[in-house]
Amino acid sequence: MEVKMNKNNPTIGYIEGDGIGKEIFSHAKKLFDEAVALAFSGEKQVNWLELMAGEQAFEKTGEYLPQATLDAIGKHKIAIKGPLGTPVGKGFRSVNVALRQQLDLYACVRPVEYFTGIEAPVKKPEAVNMTIFRENTEDIYAGIEFDQGTDDVAKVVHFLTEEFGVNKIRFPKTSAIGIKPVSEEGTKRLVKAAFEYAVANGKQRMTLVHKGNIMKFTEGGFRKWGYEVAEGYDAFTKSMYDYIKKQGGLEAAENAKERALASGRIYVDDVIADNFLQQILLNPESFDVVATLNLNGDYISDALAAQVGGIGIAPGANINYDTGHAVFEATHGTAPDIVGQNLANPSSLILSGVMMFDYIGWPEVAHLIKNALAKTLSNGALTTDLGGMLGTAEFTEKMIANLK
Ligand code: NAI
């Protein structure tokens, strides 16, 4: 969808975040403004609006996620944020999860690609080029859990055993119980977003990743509903491939697949999550766009980020494609061990900014920034997390110089 906003002077909310958030934000914002000025010769500017969340917000307002922040994002649609500390043992699960759920940002979009110059732990990091669409509002992340030893968990266990004859809770008296909701609607809107992205970006392959072999109705449902969405896109599916292979042999199936891809159709298959984690190491070139559930997506995106050199450079966005609301974010945490030492790599936040400028329809700004990052890294200008010598400030200054 096209995001309706002031075309020359859009208001974008920003949350600096906790820990290293302030350091990376001040530098990244300077870089964003320089890129915008360069791309539009000063005719367009971002109207930055500071918003509060996390520990900083708690100190000032007594709340981790003030309503004013949600209202501002609700009104202006777009925001970008640094990492937020998750308060441990304070009755608040996660500010990030709350933000995603309250704004119904159902797609967590994580593009993963390799930049020359970065030392990666695998043999072929350049073969990794995929975009993960992780469902962001359901699954075990819905936060429906009952603690061990409580009256509530006793009621849930009683209900399951008495009403449904469940006899598979191995230790009913000492179990905690979690509920995993996965819906047809939640799955279909996510998979549809992934297809729209694949079509818009000329991607050839879509992979549904799930554990439907074990969780038949939840993860198996995700698989089933995902394929139903594929029908609407005239995709060439794995079952079509298998059918042709059975009837006419491997060559016939390969030919049919090749013809389908050449005519612009998308090939859709599904892979069990544990096998997928193996395949991204062995055959990363086989994957383009990946749609998966919340928990699988969490593991997969961090594993892939590590494959191309670490979470310091992996961007992310949380998007509701129906309302247009989008929160772009650095995907790493607050890095308490390096706070205030000018050691943080700002690239994750910077690449999230690239996604944001693309999303608001300023691709020229996105290109400038991404090219500057690629040039800086390939020149061997690296922050310490990537084995280099540069601090946050020096690295960003080099990037600003490379914008031109
Ligand atoms: P973390 O990502 O903060 O740190 C893990 C390791 O990576 C540390 O050694 C850290 O120094 C390094 N690191 C992370 N980002 C870096 C960067 N930009 N440049 C250089 N090195 C970097 O994960 P951790 O320690 O598990 O979590 C710390 C806090 O952050 C927790 O409160 C956690 O809940 C929160 N968190 C927030 C996230 C978010 O806001 N999206 C995501 C993950 C964690």
* Residue that the structure tokens 């159709």 belong to: 265
pTM above 0.95, yes or no: no
Token duo for residue 126: 């350049």
Per-residue confidence band for 56, with pLDDT thresholds at 50, 70 and 90: confident
In DSSP terms, which residues pair with 332 in a beta bridge? none
The β-bridge partners of 129 are: 113
Residue 197: is its pLDDT beyond 80? yes
Instruction: Answer for the pair 267, 206: CB distance below 8 angstroms, yes or no.
Output: yes
Supply the DSSP string of 49-60, one letter for each residue: EE---SHHHHHH
349 CA from centroid of ligand 1 (Å): 13
SS3 (DSSP) at 291: strand
- Annotated active-site residue in 14, 106, 141, 197: 141
The token pair at 231 is 């029908």
CA of 5 to the centre of ligand 1 (A): 32
Average model confidence (pLDDT) across the chain? 93
Return the pLDDT at 89. Answer: 56
Q: pLDDT for 280-291, tens place per residue? A: 999 999 999 999
Give the separation between CA 333 and CA 341, rounded to whole angstroms. Answer: 16
For the ranges 114-123, 211-220, 249-258, 343-352, the lowest mean pLDDT is seen at 114-123
State the sign of the Cα–Cα–Cα–Cα dihedral 115, 117, 121, 126. positive
Are the CB atoms for 356 and 348 separated by under 8 Å?
A: no
Ligand 1 atom 10: residue of nearest CA: 335
How many angstroms does the Cα of residue 332 sit away from the middle of ligand 1? 5
Q: What is the pLDDT of residues 24-44, one digit of tens each?
A: 999 999 999 999 999 999 899
pLDDT of residue 7: 82
